[in-house]
Copies of this chain bind each other. A is one copy, B any other.
Amino acid sequence: MYYSKLLIPTLREDPGEAEIISHRLMLRAGMIRKLAAGIYSYLPLGYRVIRKIENIVREEMNMAGAQEIFMPMVLPAELWRETGRWEKYGKELLRLKDRHEREFCLGPTHEEVVTDIVRNEVKSYRQLPVNLYQIQSKFRDEIRPRFGLMRGREFIMKDAYSFDADQAGAEESYRKMYEAYINIFRRCGLTFKPVEADTGLIGGQFSHEFMVLAETGEEAVASCGSCGYAANMEKAESRSHLPGHPELVSGSLSDESVKVTLLPMERRLTPGKKSVEDVSVFLGVKPQQLVKTLIVRGDDKVVAVLVRGDHELNGVKLSRFLSCTDIQLLAPSEVEEVTGAPSGFSGPVGLKGIPIIADIAVKDMFNFIVGGNERDVHLVNVNLSRDFSPDHFVDVRNAAEGDGCPRCDTGRLNIVRGIEVGHTFKLGTKYSEAMDATYLDAQGSPQAIIMGCYGIGVGRTMAAAIEQNHDKDGIIWPSAIAPFSTIILPLNVGSEKAYSVAREIYNKLTEQGTDVLLDDRDERAGVKFKDADLLGIPCQIVVGDKGVNRGVVEVKDRATKRVKEVPIEDLLTLKFQI
C-alpha cells in the first residue's frame, strides 16, 4: 500500500485523554479514535492489526475443531431470565426496549444464546462434542470505561463454547482450547503466562486467565519459578509458613523441634496510632509482628478478619469463603458499635458477638500485637488459644512476593504484572441445567450437557501487545500482528532514481507476498523516520540518494534500531530475506 492513500492521522503530541501507553500510542499512530466513552472506531491501520489477530485466532480455533458461527448482538430478555442473569448481571448489562416495548440487552457474553441453539439442535450423545465460536462486538456498560481498548464498553471478542457429554470429554475440550490459546498468543509474538483464576460471575468449576506480561499490567500474577504454578491475585493460594518472629528463621509452631517462649500479654498505650505503620514504628517492631483486625460486612453478615500486618486482605477469597457477593469494610461508626472502640484499635481479644476469621498465616504467629478494643490501646505478646481462638483459619490474603509456593515444597512466589487477554472456564452444568439443555445418552436417558466457555479480547490483545512492546519513540509490533511487516522510506520522493528504486523494491516484495507500506509522501526525512518509529512496523528499508548511488539501501530493525547496509540487488533478487 501507498502511505498517501491510507488514512493514517498520526499525532505529534500526546493526546490528553490517554492514561496508559497503549492508548496513547494507538491514538498517536492514528489507529483508533474515540467516538464516546469506552467506544472506539478502528482506523485502517488499527483494523489491519485487529484482522491479523482475528485470523490467527480463527485458524487456531478451526484447527482445534471449533466451528465458527455468528450470533446476534441484540438479545431477548427471556433467555437471560432463564439463567437468572437478567436480574443478577447489574448495570454492565445494557438493557433496552424495542419499538414494541419488548425487552432486550446488548450481548456482553453469549452463554444463554449458544446454549439455546444447542438445546434446540443437539438431541443425542452422538452429536457431541460440539464447540461453537464467534468473533464479534460485545457491549458491557462499564461504569468507568478507561485505558482505550483495555477497558472499553464496546469491544471485539472471540468467544467459544464447548458442549460435552461427560466430564472427561469436557476436560478434553478444555485442554484443546487451552492449547489453542497457547498457540494463539505465541503466534501473536507475545510473552504471556496462563494462570489459575477465579470463576467469578460466569461461575463454573475451574478457570485460567492468559496474561500478557507487562510492567504496566493492571493485574498482579503470582508464579513459582520452581514448579510452574501461576495464578492471578484473586486466586493465588497462600500457604502457612513462619517468617513471624525475628528470632525464628524456619519451622512452625506445629513443628516440635522449634521452641518458642510465650510471653505474658501486656496492655500498651498507643495514642493516636491506628495504622500498621504507625503502630509498628511507635512500638519499634516490624509490621509482620502485628495482626490487623478488619471488621467486614459480607452481604448482611458482619465478621472480624485477622490478617498479618504486612499482608493484604483478598476480598475474592473472603467472599468465596463467606459465600457472599459483596464485601465491604464497616464504616468507623459501625466499627465502634461492634468493638466498643474507634476503628484502628480493633482486636480479637475479648471480641464478642461476631465470628473471627484468621488468615492461615496468623496460625504460625506468637507474641504478636493486636488492637485492644479500647481507644489508644494495643495489646502485645498476644498468643493464640491462650488469649483468644479464631472460629476459622482460612486463606484470605493476597499472595506476596517470596511466599512459599502452594504447590511445590521448594519454590517461592514471584509477583509480576500482567494484562488479561484470554480467559477459559470449565462451566460444568451451570447453564445447561438452568436452561434444560440435555442430550439422550446411549441408554436413552436425558443428561445435562457439560459446558466450557473461552474468551479472547481481540482489541485487548492489540493493546497488550503495545504495553509489552514499545519504546520512547513508539510501538514495536511483533511481526505477525504488525499492520505491515515492512515500511519503505524513500527519503526524497523528488529524487527520481532513489524513488524508482524504492518502488521497485516495493513491487518485488509485494509480489512475493510481503505486506509492505511505501511512504510515498513528499515529507522531510525526519517526519518519515518519526512516523515509521511511531507506527512500529518491524522492518524499515531506508532508500537515500547516496546509498542508491552506491547500490545499497539501509535495512533497519525497529526493535533494536540496528541498521544494516544491503545491496539493492540482493533485495530485488530476494537473496536478502526481510
Contacts and interface: CB of A to CB of B under 8 A. Distances in A.
Given A42-B69, A44-B68, A69-B42, A36 B76 contact: yes
A106 interface: yes
Nearest to A114: B41
A430 interface: no
A30 B118 CA distance: 12
A120 B360 CA distance: 58
Interface stretch (A91-99, A262-270, A398-406): A91-99
Copies in the complex: 2
Contacts of A41: 69-72, 113, 117
B74 A43 contact: no
A116 interface: yes
A141 interface: yes
Nearest to A58: B51
Nearest to A459: B70
Given A36-B76, A99-B94, A42 B70 contact: yes
Contacts of A130: 7
Among A30, A71, A120, the most chain B Cβ lie within 10 Å of the Cβ of A71
Nearest to A163: B7
A94 B94 contact: no
A75 interface: yes
A44 B69 contact: yes
A216 to B, nearest CB: 25
A35 B139 CA distance: 18
A334 to B, nearest CB: 28
A39 interface: yes
Interface in A110-144: 113, 116-117, 120-122, 127, 130, 132, 136-137, 139, 141, 143
A33 B118 CA distance: 11
A44 B58 CA distance: 13
A51 B51 CA distance: 14
Contact of A43 (B5, B44, B69): B69
A312 to B, nearest CB: 30
Contact of A139 (B7, B51, B74, B91): B74
Given A121-B7, A141-B98, A35 B69 contact: no
A153 B7 contact: no
Contact of A35 (B42, B113, B132): B113
Contacts of A122: 7
A73 interface: yes
A74 B39 contact: yes
Contacts of A30: 121
Nearest to A104: B36
A65 B132 contact: no
Among A42, A44, A98, A127, the most chain B Cβ lie within 10 Å of the Cβ of A98
27 contacts: A6-B67, A7-B67, A7-B69, A7-B122, A7-B132, A9-B120, A9-B121, A33-B121, A35-B72, A35-B116, A36-B72, A36-B74, A39-B74, A41-B69, A41-B70, A42-B70, A42-B71, A44-B67, A44-B68, A48-B68, A51-B68, A70-B156, A72-B137, A73-B139, A73-B154, A74-B153, A99-B143
Given A5-B65, A35-B72, A70-B156, 13 more contacts: A7-B130, A9-B120, A35-B76, A36-B72, A41-B113, A43-B121, A44-B67, A44-B68, A44-B69, A47-B69, A73-B139, A74-B154, A94-B96
Interface of A: 5-7, 9, 30, 33, 35-36, 39-44, 47-48, 50-51, 65, 67-76, 91, 94, 96, 98-99, 102, 104, 106, 113, 116-117, 120-122, 127, 130, 132, 136-137, 139, 141, 143, 153-154, 156
